[in-house]
Amino acid sequence: MSIDVTTKVPPMSSLSLSRRTFLAVAALGGLEAVLTACTSSSSPVVVTTTVTPGDPVSSAGVAPSSAAGAAPSSAAASSGAAPASGAVSSGAPAASTPPVTASPTTTAAPTGKPVHVRLYQGDGKTYGVGLPIIVYMSKVITDAKAFVKATTVKVNGTVIQGAWYFQKSAIYSGYPMEAHYRPQTYWPAHAAISLDLPIKNVSAGKGLLFDDSLTLSIKTGAANITMVDGATERLVTTSDGLVKFNFPVSLGKASTPTFNGTKVIMERAKLERMIGTTPGDEYDLEVPWSCRLTNSGEFIHAASWNGGNIGQRSTSNGCTNLNVDAAKQFFDFALIGDVAVYKNTGGGDMPVWDGYGDWNLSWAEWSRGGAVSTS
């Protein structure tokens, strides 16, 4: 039960409020009434305060503060304003209920065996238009959906829609899986390419968690495309559509044929040691001007020992033999990532896993993700 207590405040012209009375009224929300009274010259002001029975009430008709008679804070006293909240505590009900603040919720940090990722490419470098973006993984992952979702690749600042393909790897010790990203066709020439892959603490499958993120910024050079035809024993290279080279070659003989299909230059070496262990065809050579095309050992290289067959017939162990001067010209010109397309070699198609055979798969098959489903 509540009781309304009404107090008449005479006009200020006939009444002087003591500081104690002024503060008591102000503490109960009567400051506006008091101020009104201060600006009126004749009419009394009525201040009504609701109190609850059982609350102590002073002779002035208001509940005393918890420390009755105590002086207000110095700041309140000096300004004449009501004391700061909490300086005077009345026994009256609170004017409003303070808002309830929800307790913050915490989410458990994801856990799992760490999967570390590293890039093949390096920031600021220039590559041929056929090189996919290559990521190596320290464990064989079982779910690539979050990895794919996190991927953003841009060409000249515009986001493109490419796809990842996952396969086993033996390139780096401790990295048994690799993922290749490419668009549906070759990268555009003379372009800026960027990758943003924020996958730290993202799931790599049940019990697996990526432990780092990756970014990459690279460029492509000219569109260098080499066509090699076993029927004519010729190699023709174009750069941005213009013919750069037209050289005679010798490809793999019938027992060791060169692969057909689209290959990508993987490495370049001024001298590459090549060892043959086939009985009756053993060799151990330092071969100059060598450009690797497959993991299994196909190169475009100089072959001074095979000059009589170059341009005439295929007699090599699978490599593309060039005369020394031609091999040096090609070596000096070529970029890692340049494309070399072979036909009429007498061999099968290059497997996708034997180097960068990415372009030998249809887009539909590539988009399915290979060893790990991406959808």
Q: What domains appear along the chain, each with residue ranges and CATH number?
A: 3-79 (no CATH), 113-221 (2.60.40.3710), 224-344 (2.40.440.10)
At residue 62, does pLDDT exceed 70?
no
Which of 13-17, 173-177, 299-303 is predicted with the least confidence, judged by mean pLDDT? 13-17
Residues 38, 116, 180, 301: which is the catalytic one? 301
At residue 20, does pLDDT exceed 80?
no
| pLDDT, position 69 | 39
Tens digit of each residue's pLDDT (9 = 90 or more) over 238-268? 999 999 999 999 999 999 999 999 999 999 9
| pLDDT, position 103 | 59
Residue 291: active-site member? no
| pLDDT, position 375 | 79
Residues 38, 116, 291, 319: which is the catalytic one? 319
Beta bridge partners of residue 210, listed in sequence order: 115
State how far the Cα of 198 lies from the Cα of 157, in Å rounded to an integer: 18
Q: Are 128 and 268 in contact (CB under 8 A)?
A: no
Q: What is the dihedral of CA 128, 132, 136, 141, to 10 degrees?
A: 180
Joined tokens for residue 307: 């000059």
Which of 65-74, 212-221, 314-323, 324-333 is predicted with the least confidence, judged by mean pLDDT? 65-74
Amino acid at 3: I
The residue among 96, 97, 79, 77 whose CA lies nearest residue 87 is 77
| pLDDT, position 68 | 38
Q: Are 161 and 363 in contact (CB under 8 A)?
A: no
Joined tokens for residue 85: 């909240």
The residue among 254, 256, 246, 224 whose CA lies nearest residue 311 is 246
Q: Are 196 and 136 in contact (CB under 8 A)?
A: no
| pLDDT, position 28 | 41
Q: Are 235 and 320 in contact (CB under 8 A)?
A: yes
The residue among 123, 2, 119 whose CA lies nearest residue 51 is 2
Which of 84-88, 94-98, 104-108, 184-188 is predicted with the least confidence, judged by mean pLDDT? 84-88
State how far the Cα of 295 lies from the Cα of 355, in Å rounded to an integer: 5
| pLDDT, position 282 | 86
**Highest-confidence segment of 23-32, 277-286, 313-322:** 313-322
At residue 124, does pLDDT exceed 80?
yes
Residue 301: active-site member? yes
DSSP string, 87-156: TS--SSPPSSPPPPPPPPP--PPP--EEE-EEESS-TT-EE-TTPPEEEEESS--S--HHHHHH-EEEET
Amino acid at 230: G
Beta bridge partners of residue 237, listed in sequence order: 226, 245
